[in-house]
């Protein structure tokens, strides 16, 4: 079992020692492996990835649940949800926000389930409705700083289809400048200018395309 976390242009892996996926991670260039046993060692590992430039970090522990608990405890956790949406033409719904291609998503409200949040955010950000939820795709993690506070955002991603045939409307107040339906043959454009976590969502969901 492992957790992949995006931080600026780096990736942090939390992984159980002796996990077979360590071999594939070891093949990645410029990865530093940091074995841990105690809470203090986990804290030191966190400082290591904050201080490193562009080097990926792999933090290991014999109990990945222990590792996740103590790692996550050092951040303010925000939960969000979003969707990979396909229309009848099997085109994927993309938004363009702040100079990057993205998928519609947003923070969960109090007492809101991830599934309801994902559908709400898709409709609010794009105007696309008639959404049919199929299944959960993946969870992604992203660390950033806001007003001096270290945030760890956990985003739940879901696979949706829609019969919507109208014109999508970008939510301007959320800095969304345009919306596009993009087919599989034209994914090179958005994938060349997006976030690693979005690529992970599409990699996981695209086989159903």
Q: What are the pLDDT digits (tens) for 178-189? A: 999 999 889 999
Domains of the chain are 2-72 (no CATH), 77-208 (3.90.79.10)
Q: What are the pLDDT digits (tens) for 96-153? A: 999 999 999 999 999 999 999 999 999 999 999 999 999 999 999 999 988 888 999 9
What is the model's pLDDT at position 72?
Answer: 96
Assigned token pair, 202: 């599409």
- Rounded to the nearest 5°, which phi and psi values hold at 107? -70, 145
For tokens 């959960």, name the residue.
136
DSSP code of residue 200: H
């Amino acid at each position: 079992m492992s957790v992949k976390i995006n931080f600026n242009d780096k990736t942090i892996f939390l992984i159980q020692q002796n996990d077979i996926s360590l071999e594939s991670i070891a093949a990645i260039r410029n990865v530093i492996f940091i074995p841990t046993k105690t809470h203090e060692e986990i804290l030191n590992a966190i400082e290591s990835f904050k201080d490193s430039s562009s080097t990926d970090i792999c933090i290991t522990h014999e109990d990945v649940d222990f590792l996740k608990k103590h790692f996550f405890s050092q951040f303010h956790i925000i939960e969000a949800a979003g969707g990979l949406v396909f229309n009848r033409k099997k085109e994927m719904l993309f938004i363009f926000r702040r100079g990057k291609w993205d998928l519609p998503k947003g923070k969960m409200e109090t007492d809101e389930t991830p599934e309801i949040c994902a559908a709400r955010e898709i409709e609010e950000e794009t105007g696309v409705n008639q959404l049919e939820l199929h299944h959960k795709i993946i969870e992604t993690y992203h660390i950033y700083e806001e007003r001096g506070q270290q945030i760890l955002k956990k985003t739940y991603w879901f696979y949706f289809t829609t019969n919507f045939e109208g014109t999508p409307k970008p939510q301007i107040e959320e800095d969304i400048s345009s919306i596009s339906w993009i087919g599989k043959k034209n994914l090179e454009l958005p994938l060349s200018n997006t976030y690693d976590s979005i690529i992970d969502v599409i990699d996981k969901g695209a086989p159903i395309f």
